[in-house]
Amino acid sequence: MSSEPVHKIVRLLLLGLVILGCFMTPFFMYFKPSKSCLFASVESIAPRERIEEVLTTNDHNDTTVLIWLWPFGKKRDKVNICASKFSIDGCFITTDRNLYNKSDGVIIHHRDIHSDLSNLPPHQRPPFQKWIWMNWESPSHSSKLGNMKNLFNLTLNYRLDADIPVPYGSLVYTEGEDNFAPPSKDKLLCWIVSHWDENFARVKYYNELQKHIKVDVYGRAFNKCITPQEYVSTLASCKFYLAFENSLHKDYITEKFYNPLGASTVPVVLGASREDYENVIQGDAFIHVDDFASPKELADYILQLDKNEERYRRFFEWRRHFKVKRPVFWAEHACVACDYLRRHRKYQVIQNLDKWFWA
């Protein structure tokens, strides 16, 4: 927190200016009588302080983020890539618990927290430090833990209303690809799935759907595994793909959506609401199961689209200006969290995590 003394000096200087301004006001009143001193000072301080914040935090190595628990226990070596990979300066990402007392942020991966909270940092939290709750599973697949009230300061999550939102993917602007044409396809509708559970909405939907349309299926659930090398080319060889999430939750839109999208296949989605999807991509780039009264109607629609190449191509309008970007798990998340900490020095607390995430 080396920038603190600088802040104090800046604040003193600004205060001096304000006081000076107050004394000077009577003189200026003759020329510009309308504004009160208080108003003038508030208006002039706010933007300056913001600029000062940016100037004092840039190009310094002054924000330390400690990854307390490696997600799923898997260690990664290359985490200090904020500047080189993501153009985020001034961050030091570490896994060295000896640096706990000087860490500005501590990232804690939800799945790895013991149910009795015994593996959380044992020491008192320094007053400037923020604990960051990180989770990538949906509420259905995340266990609630004892008392999580007033425990964390920030949420780092796929939800767009998290403090630090890092969705599973996003569309980023790119110089036009005006003549984009999807790769040639030899299958109409595909699905790759490993986890089969008859209670999942996606399984129930598929069971109905496949009575009305042929679905080329792959993955552990069908005993037809594909290698990572075959994954993208398989996706690309299908006109449509069942981008069915394992559970239906707000903003829970995962790689099951972004991967086919990136491979130029039209995702048929089951998961979050259409509105949630439309927050991340234009509404005519995908098909939502909710738009159809029944799986049969969806099947009929896809069969109809199969005969209309011109109509099919219109699903790829977005490709003229955007491309799919997926974050680098987990290094990017730590860097984005650091960037957030640098910009928000204020007090923050998550009063009721259960209510926010599981309600």
Ligand X SMILES: *[C@@H]1O[C@H](CO)[C@@H](O)[C@H](O)[C@H]1NC(C)=O
Place of tokens 């190009």: 59
Rounded CA gap, 68 and 71, in Å?
Answer: 9
In the bound state with ligand X, the residue whose beta carbon lies nearer, of 1 and 232, is 1
The least CB distance from residue 125 to ligand X, in Å, is: 6
Residue in 226, 294, 292, 289 with CA at minimum distance from that of residue 257: 289
The least CB distance from residue 151 to ligand X, in Å, is: 7
The least CB distance from residue 289 to ligand X, in Å, is: 41
In the bound state with ligand X, the residue whose beta carbon lies nearer, of 155 and 246, is 155
Token duo for residue 289: 């199961």
In the bound state with ligand X, the residue whose beta carbon lies nearer, of 152 and 218, is 152
The least CB distance from residue 259 to ligand X, in Å, is: 35
Rounded CA gap, 164 and 155, in Å?
Answer: 6
In the bound state with ligand X, the residue whose beta carbon lies nearer, of 68 and 206, is 68
The least CB distance from residue 197 to ligand X, in Å, is: 37
* Residue 166 CB burial class (10 angstroms; 0-12, 13-18, ≥19): buried
β-pairing, 164-165 with 170-173? unpaired
**Residues making contact with ligand X (CB under 6 A):** 61, 92, 98, 100-101, 123-124, 128, 130, 150, 153, 347-349
Token duo for residue 249: 């939750």
b/e map of 13-48 (b: 16 or more CB within 10 Å)? ebeeebeeeeeebeeeeeeeeeeebeebbeeeeeee
- Sheet strand arrangement including 187-192: 216-218, 187-192, 238-244, 266-270, 287-288
Alpha carbon of residue 70 to chain centroid? 18
Candidates 52, 137, 255, 278; catalytic one: 137
The least CB distance from residue 108 to ligand X, in Å, is: 13
In the bound state with ligand X, the residue whose beta carbon lies nearer, of 92 and 277, is 92
Residue whose C-beta lies closest to ligand X: 61
Residue in 260, 252, 301 with CA at minimum distance from that of residue 279: 252
Residue in 289, 328, 358, 339 with CA at minimum distance from that of residue 137: 358
In the bound state with ligand X, the residue whose beta carbon lies nearer, of 89 and 216, is 89
Token duo for residue 310: 């011109």
Residue in 290, 353, 359, 12 with CA at minimum distance from that of residue 150: 353
Rounded CA gap, 202 and 198, in Å?
Answer: 9
Is 137 an annotated catalytic residue?
Answer: yes
Which residues have a catalytic role annotated? 137
